[in-house]
A = this chain, B = another copy of it.
Amino acid sequence: MSEAPTSVACSNCSLRELCMPAGLAPGELARIDELVATRRKVRRGTALFQAGEPFTSLYAVRTGFFKTCVASGDGRGQVTGFQMAGEIIGLDGIVNDRHTCEAVALEDAEVCVMPFDRIAELAREVGALQHHLHRVMSREIVREHGVMLLLGTMNAEERLAAFLLNLAQRLHARGFSSSELVLRMTRQEIGNFLGLKLETVSRTFSRFAEQGLLEVRHRQVRIADPARLAGLLPNPGGT
CB distance B152 to A192 under 8 Å?
Answer: yes
Copies in the complex: 2
- Bitwise, A92-129 to B at CB < 8 A (1) or not (0) is 11110000110000000000000000001001110100
CB distance A135 to B94 under 8 Å?
Answer: yes
Would A92 and B141 be within 8 Å (CB), given that A120-B131, A127-B124 are in contact?
Answer: yes
Task: Flag whether A177 is at the interface (Cβ < 8 A).
Answer: no
Q: How large is the interface on A (under 10, 10 to 19, 20 to 34, 35 or more residues)?
A: 35 or more
Would A195 and B151 be within 8 Å (CB), given that A73-B235, A130-B124 are in contact?
Answer: yes
Would A144 and B146 be within 8 Å (CB), given that A73-B238, A152-B192, A234-B73 are in contact?
Answer: no
A interface residues (Cβ-Cβ under 8 A, vs B): 51-52, 70, 72-74, 76-78, 80, 91-95, 100-101, 120, 123-125, 127, 130-131, 133-135, 137-142, 144-149, 151-153, 192-195, 233-239
